[in-house]
Structure 1
Amino acid sequence: MPKAIRVQDYGGPEVMAYEDVPTPQPGPGQIRIRAGAIGVNFIDIYFRSGAYKAAQLPFTPGKEVAGTVTAVGEGVTGFSVGDRVATGSGEGTYAEEPLIAASAAVHVPDGIDDSTAAGMMLKGLTAEYLLHRTYAVKPGDTILWHAAAGGVGLIACQWAKHLGATVIGTAGSAEKADLARAHGCDHVILYREEDVAARVREITGGKGVPVVYDGVGQDTLAGSLDSLAPLGLLASFGSASGPIKALDLGLLAAKGSLYVTRPTLFTYASRPEILAEMAKNLFSVVQSGAVKIPVNRTYKLAEAQQVHRDLAGRETTGSTVMVP
């Protein structure tokens, strides 16, 4: 029997059990894959803890996986047994043989291995929609990216640099700052030691930036708003420090008619034709060498509890994957 991580009830990492499960049979519109590598993301912690609710309990966490198709459900076109595929918006991917919706899967081109694909789908597609769709970064822009040494950050900073932007990143340590610089950041602000907004104003000659990409949440909200130029956009795409509890809309007026959005990958990728376009853009920038996918930690699927502890404790940089 294949193995999977099962969560009986919400809680800490200890609620994740590594168990035998029946081999799943794909229903209409589904494909089953043999996982080669499984991506790990902060959203998995939100679901495990109950901050986000699963469709039912018990459940298997996970959104991201790359592997080989082993069975195809009724009505599925475009995928065959033996195809290499990946998804960043699946369900229950912490498994040796997960089922995923064919509409959420993309073909993985030759030259991109399973670990790279699993380390890039959710994070890379997040970078894609943020940099190309939420605010289209263009040559000459100066942008601010919080947690520049994180999983999305290391991909996005390289990509933004490739698009011709000047990239300001924030990091929590000198080591992470060095990593961010090595992945496209022109300026790195040590947020524990420096006033982020003041440094952004200094770097931009007092103007501020047209866009701030913020996956941190409550802790960085004030600094993000204060870093924006008039009519600037705060793209709040995550809440690693906790969700934003309240935002006084009057502040947006006072600080220069600012915009705030809370986008998600799942909204952007919900149409297969858009998802395919996004994946093509991502794969091409990786294959060209302009963006490298830093898979910095690899664990066994059985070590999922430790993976979550390390991720929550900010012990990881870049992408983390598990292998069956």
Structure 2
Amino acid sequence: MARSRIVRNFDAMIEVHELTKRFGDTTAVDGISFRLDPGSVTGFIGPNGAGKSTTMRMMVGLDRPTSGRCLVDGRRYADLAAPMRSVGTLIDAEAAHKGRSARNHLRVLARTHGIPDRRADEVLETVGLTDVANKRIGGFSLGMRQRLGLATALLGDPAVLLLDEPANGLDPDGIIWIRTLLRSLAAEGRTVFVSSHLMGELAQTAHRLIVLGRGRVLADDAVDALTARFGTRVARVRPDRPAELEEILRRHDAAVTRLPDGALEVTGMDSPDIAVLAHRHGILLFENTTVAASLEEAYLALTQDQGRHVAKVSR
């Protein structure tokens, strides 16, 4: 879907410093700090109840922090003169009047910020809703409401985008579309911060990941660096004498799984070292490849002990 040409220069930085939120006796967010720089997509992941949505709500003033702060270019969100022109948000795709059309919903919001009506049609085209622009939002599917929420986030042509589960409800084509869109928005120099449970998509979309668990930052690094540190690389080898090579590898403390086709899956030893051992014992290898660690594996390794919060409810 074609988008209108962007001519602005974007250079907005977000700083989160010692952000904390308590609900009674429960600490939902526990003194987290990070910085978001322009020109990249930062993924925000963690188990349910880790504090992701609460963090994003505090960043845009929907929840008041118990302590700490979030600044957009040195200013609180509440102090921005025209927030939608600085920060575009998708926090709740249901936050739209069901009786309004998509076009009128966007035009009402646009007029609160002095944005021309034509911008509503531009963002509707961007998110693929032009054909239903005059339809009532109450009849929209979840995926259509998500697209409208993204159109709302883009309405002010903001330098910063904060998106909570933007791919929720989208079909496979829609997921590919939003991956491309987020990357292109970052390439324009925008700061893109997106939470998601779709690890495979974040691996292809995000440049960097912040992992949250029990309200604390567990990791903050580039995607490739995290998978290398916490994921498990698996070597797949197919020797002419699998039983013999399996015994040799086990003697060298490698974990080996025999596959039905005679190949071996090996962890704890890299492919070059396996090749050296096989050569030393006169074993021929028909295949010797390494499967890169996945983001899912890295995520599970980081969060395996991070169960979700159980809130205490006052009665």
Say yes or no: TM over 0.5: no
Task: Please identify the structure whose Cα radius of gyration is greater.
Answer: 2
Q: Which TM-score applies when normalising by structure 2?
A: 0.26
* Structure with higher RCO (Cα < 8 A, 6+ apart): 2
TM-score, scaled relative to structure 1: 0.26
